[in-house]
Amino acid sequence: MSPVLSVWVSKRDGRRDGREVEKKVSRRNCQQTGAMEIVRWLLKHKFRQFTPEIEQQIGTLTLMQLENLTDRLLNFSTRADLEVWLQSQKEPSPTGGTVLIAGGASKSQGTFT
């Protein structure tokens, strides 16, 4: 392949890779937005209304945390149950291991026992 053609192919492939990354990020954002809307809808129907602080905390949850919350909220009896769960998402894991932090980062807490 000629050097000029090689550079052109490389640039083309880079643009294609960039577009694929943009699509994946966009798809992930749409999934998170959809999950957040479902959680808010379920919580409003279960508890009628909740505080702006709870609303803000829900807005910081990762997609994985939102999915976990949709499973857990079916077992919540009171708004206090929700508040305890939300607080647990901010605190280090008591058993060690890796804790997910809002935004998808992780923080090592030691080894699992």
In a domain, 8, yes or no: yes
The whole domain housing 21 covers 3-90+97-108
- Tens digits of residue pLDDT in 83-101: 999 999 986 655 544 444 4
pLDDT of the residue at 102: 43
Q: What CA–CA distance (Å, rounded) separates 91 from 50?
A: 22
At 105, is the pLDDT very low, low, confident or very high (cuts 50, 70, 90)?
very low
In a domain, 73, yes or no: yes
pLDDT of the residue at 104: 43
> Is 44's pLDDT higher than 70?
yes
Mean residue pLDDT across the chain: 75
In a domain, 83, yes or no: yes
**Which residue type sits at 38?**
I
State if pTM tops 0.85. no
Given a contact cutoff of 8 angstroms between Cβ atoms, the answer to whether 100 and 62 are in contact is yes
Q: Quote the number of domains for the chain.
A: 1
In a domain, 113, yes or no: no
Task: Write out 44-102 in H/E/C secondary structure.
Answer: HHHHCCCCHHHHHHHHCCCHHHHHHHHHHHHHCCCHHHHHHHHHHCCCCCCCCCEEECC
In a domain, 40, yes or no: yes
